[in-house]
Chains A and B, each alone.
Chain A
Amino acid sequence: MNILAIDTSNQALGVAVMKNGEIAGDLTTNLKKNHSVRLMPAIDQLMREVSLTPEELDRIVVAKGPGSYTGVRIGLSTAKTMAWALNIPVVGVSSLEVLGFQGRFFHALVCPFFDARRGLVYGGVYEWKKGRLHSVYSEKNMPMEDLLSLLAEENSEVLFLSPDISLHQESIAEKLRERAVVPEAPYHLPKASHLALAGSMVEPVPTHTLTPNYLRMAEAEAKWLERHKGKSHG
């Protein structure tokens, strides 16, 4: 199977190609630069280097969020439209799960998260069992404090994975002490080859129905609901 994997959901830009079931290329940059400008040239370059034409692709896999709303949409617009044009299936994988793959050989709880500003994070808790990633607490947009309280109650070591680890390292250490495991820099970046692998194991959804995994309502919508709480629908 030939798979193109795309991740623009957070700061890192990742593109990988799986060719005949092998990872033929994995391109990652971790820069504060524009995904919209850089994504297609990156795909074009990688596809050339691994000698694949677009028609030879069998599947497209995309990190569907959570993350930057705009970043997630750049990835999904590209992946969905390309899959539709090539008439091949598309698979969306949670960006947190992709990051969770960096904890493949950790035998306790794995907690990938992305900073969501104002003390909030997008986070989930997982566990690796028999080579599969299992969800322990489903991913949510919540205060980091709540996530840490939840984890503090577990009598277990926790591996924290996040490109935004530096923002929360202190509160992690404070709450979980020696039970917190924080690895070195490379482990905090999601890898597009992991995304390709994750996507190869899932059933595709119909292309039109693939939507971003924002984990959060649009602000205007949330405010509107707040204002209309308790009022009957007219």
Chain B
Amino acid sequence: MTKDIYILGIETSCDETAAAIVRNGTETVANVVASQIASHQRFGGVVPEIASRHHVEQITLVLEEVFHEAQLDWDEIDAIAVTKGPGLVGALLVGVNAAKALAFARQKPLIGVHHIAGHIYANRLEKEFQFPLLALIVSGGHTELVLMTEHGKYELIGETRDDAAGEAYDKVARMLKLPYPGGPEIDRLAARGEEIISFPRAWLEDGSYDFSFSGLKSAVINKMHNVQQRGETLKPEDIAASFQASVVEVLTEKTYRAAREHQVQQVIVAGGVAANRGLRKKLDERFAGTDIPLLIPPLELCTDNAAMIAAAGTISYGQGKRAGLDLNANASLLLN
């Protein structure tokens, strides 16, 4: 029998300071996330400088907790995996430098992980991958369709041309004066409203798997202004439901078409917006009668965490990929 592989993961790309230990890339041994949501709430969004300040304060606490939870010694850790990008550069730098310090102090191999690869591999902590596989990644910073034919190989087949889906949610939430973070609030309101306004769906050119949400965002603003000028009112529940219907339909349909075209064995959904109930429901319905299994991980694996970074890092580790002590953070790192 081969030895178990234990990878320590570190993630600080946005406003969560996270560390985790994963066994063989498929099993979470310990997973600790220190969220900063409360610190950014009064600013109505993540403030990069404040996020970076929190990371420095939290990093060793989070690491200590993860080792305490895992009941493992350093001897058993095979390598250290860290998010090297994309994300907020100042925030990424805290994790990258902490990981390098650990790698040096404990003489362990260092692995740089792409944040989106992490989101995809969060699913492998639930179920083994079947290739070819299609991943829909939706979060505050991302809206991407990624095709994988084997482990560690990513082909970007669609991405947003303007706002990320989560960004559109946040902006509309601000218009509706909902508290930060706005995405879950809209989802909640939408569940109680009806799609009485038909907002546009950005299908773009025929056969394109790209996305665009800025037009939709403008349409919502215009609609709200017009209604206000006529002295009428719209129920926020209905605005939320109509907006969400547009986003969810495009995401679902493009994912479905891409899955068909590439004859994938599995569709996985990842990223913070994967927690959205409206999106889950629509995707479930769309794939229900098909032979393509749909995987959506539990909420704590959808949002940013380090278990997903360790899981993705395990693949790189097995493939012999190593980072040097000169590893840097890259705010706009490409997935390849």
Measured CB to CB, the residues of A under 8 A from B are 34, 36-41, 43-44, 54, 69-70, 73-74, 76-82, 84-86, 207-208, 211-212, 214, 218-221, 224
Contact = CB atoms under 8 A, between A and B. Distances in A.
A47 to B, nearest CB: 8
Contacts, number: 106
Given A41-B326, A86-B105, A77 B94 contact: yes
B7 interface: no
B326 to A, nearest CB: 5
Contact of B93 (A36, A86, A208): A36
Given A70-B93, A212-B56, A82 B49 contact: no
10 contacts: A54-B104, A69-B49, A70-B90, A73-B53, A76-B56, A77-B59, A85-B102, A207-B60, A211-B56, A220-B47
Contact of A80 (B60, B104, B328): B60
Contact of B98 (A77, A207, A218, A219): A77
A36 B101 contact: no
Q: How large is the interface on B (under 10, 10 to 19, 20 to 34, 35 or more residues)?
A: 35 or more
Given A80-B60, A84-B60, A207-B60, A40 B100 contact: yes
A13 to B, nearest CB: 13
A211 B59 CA distance: 11
A63 to B, nearest CB: 14
Determine the main DSSP class of A at the interface with B. Answer: helix
Given A77-B93, A81-B97, A208 B61 contact: yes
Contacts of B57: 211
B93 A74 contact: yes
Contact of B47 (A34, A43, A218): A218
Nearest to A44: B325
B296 interface: no
B325 A41 contact: yes
Contacts of A44: 104, 325
Given A81-B98, A81-B101, A218 B328 contact: no
A218 B53 contact: yes
Q: Closest 5 A-B residue pairs measured CB to CB? A: A40-B325, A85-B105, A82-B101, A81-B101, A81-B98
B102 A81 contact: yes
Interface of B: 42-43, 47, 49-50, 52-53, 55-57, 59-61, 63-64, 74, 90, 93-98, 100-102, 104-107, 324-329
A81 B100 CA distance: 9
A79 B53 CA distance: 15
Contact of B104 (A43, A76, A77, A224): A43
B49 A85 contact: no
Contacts of A212: 53, 56
A73 B63 contact: no
A56 B48 CA distance: 37
B101 A37 contact: no
A224 B47 CA distance: 12
Nearest to B61: A208
B325 A36 contact: no
Contacts of A73: 52-53, 55-56, 90, 93-94, 97
Contacts of A77: 55-56, 59, 93-95, 97-98, 101
A39 B97 contact: yes
A183 B265 CA distance: 71
A214 B57 CA distance: 13
Contacts of B325: 40-41, 44
B206 to A, nearest CB: 44
A86 B60 CA distance: 12
Contacts of B98: 77-78, 80-81
B173 to A, nearest CB: 19
Contacts of A54: 104-107
Nearest to A69: B49
Contacts of B327: 37
A15 to B, nearest CB: 12
